[in-house]
Amino acid sequence: MRWRRGLAWAVLAGLVVAVLWTWWAESHPHEERRLRVLVHDQLGAWFPEQMAPADGWHGLEPRAAGEGSRGVRVVLVHGLDEPGTIWDELVPALQTAGHDVWEFRYPNDQGIDRSALYLASRWPALSVDRPVVLVGHSMGGLVAREFVSRLRHPVGIAPQVAGPAVAGVIVVGTPNRGSEWARLRVWLELRDQFPTYQGRRFSLFAALRDGTGEAKIDLRPDSDFLRDLNDRPWPTEVPILAIAGRLLAAPADLTEGLEAAATAIGSPELERRLSAWWSGIGGELGDGVVSLASAGLPGGPTPVTVDATHRGMLARLFPSDPEPPAIAPILAAIRDWNATTATAQAGAVGDVP
């Protein structure tokens, strides 16, 4: 009986600590982030080899050579705790269109600003003979935006990194204004660490090497990181496209039913209100992770909206499913940018001051 009582007290103490930590962290996100960064840096000092991202998985690596290699290069940037399969449909489509494809894999639980710096450290490895289009899914779009606007093409100051110019940026399902789903990062971490895709293996330090959760703080709506990113001017020479997912589109019979009801009772206002109500539900749901409002670029063009889930925009759930709907607008945008800007930007290589 005594050991049961001791176990009960231990469980209760753990719950109290968890509640107190959650309350403090929710009330002090800035201080929580500083603490997580401190822990990450200290672990790196204590275990430099185990914590280093040079583990055969992280880095900027070639994924596929384009047929004829006649277009701009494309660098793919994954999102939070992505196990590595999100690009399996897009890569062959890009390859067929003639683009060399590279994939950037980074410690994605660390601060987004650090991930952009990590990309900058690898960027000069790319040849300068052709510009690059960045395609980011989910949080990867924020990494791409941070890299371009702060490091490669900052407005009003010299580039902070040398290498090929950026010919365009495409963000897919990116929470440009934040997402509350980031609070569930611990469950995404399980999905990220256990798969062994492309030779990745689970290890004791794998989760810690990815970061200590700073990213989930950066992803919160109105975080310090997002305020700084969204207030920073975007370079006019770099076109950008956002693609948003809509999980709940109004079916045709519903739309027809609303119009018929409004006509029957002679109240166009009723149809307008019901349509606005339904659209509001769909907008809040967005792709199931990122709302339509959050997927929009602050001060940027209106997103292209496709009917799909957060991952379904780029990945099939079943092999028999049709092509994911974000692939066609991605290919179209890259084709347009390649035709209008690739030649002019091919030699635009900035020097590090």
| pLDDT for the residue numbered 71 | 80
One domain, residues 328 and 183 = yes
The structural domain count of the chain equals 3
Q: Say which range, 162-176, 264-278, 326-340, has the weakest mean pLDDT.
A: 264-278
One domain, residues 184 and 217 = yes
One domain, residues 222 and 272 = no
Helix (H) or strand (E) holding 63: strand 59-64
Q: Is the pLDDT of residue 207 over 60?
A: no
Is 326 or 38 the better-scoring residue by pLDDT? Answer: 326
One domain, residues 75 and 223 = yes
CATH number reported for the structural domain that contains residue 161 in this entry: 3.40.50.1820
Question: Hey, what amino acid is at 238?
Answer: V
Is 233 or 34 the better-scoring residue by pLDDT? Answer: 233
- Determine, yes or no, domain membership for 197: yes
Q: Which pTM does this prediction carry?
A: 0.75
Give how far Cα 276 sits from Cα of 255, 258, 308, Å.
Answer: 11, 11, 20
3-state secondary structure of 35: helix
- Determine, yes or no, domain membership for 353: no
One domain, residues 34 and 171 = no
Task: Summarize pLDDT for 2-36 with one digit per residue, the tens.
Answer: 666 666 666 666 565 544 544 444 555 555 566 56
Tokens (6 digits) for 16:
């109290």
One domain, residues 228 and 313 = yes
| Degrees to nearest 5, angle at CA 337 with 136 and 240 | 40
| pLDDT for the residue numbered 191 | 41
218-234 in b/e burial notation, b at 16+ Cβ within 10 A? Answer: bbbeebebbeebbeeeb
Q: Say which range, 18-32, 120-134, 159-173, has the weakest mean pLDDT.
A: 18-32
One domain, residues 333 and 270 = no
One domain, residues 261 and 327 = no
One domain, residues 33 and 157 = no
Helix axes 29-46, 224-231, angle to 10 degrees: 100
- Determine, yes or no, domain membership for 351: no
- Determine, yes or no, domain membership for 136: yes
User: Are 205 and 266 within 8 A, CB to CB?
Assistant: no
Q: Between the CA atoms of 323, 328, 331 and 332, what dihedral angle is there, to the nearest 10 degrees?
A: 170
Length of the chain: 353
Give me the domain span that covers residue 37. Answer: 2-46
- Determine, yes or no, domain membership for 352: no
Handedness of CA 145, 146, 150, 151 (dihedral sign): negative
- Determine, yes or no, domain membership for 290: yes
Task: Name beta bridge partners: 135.
Answer: 76, 170
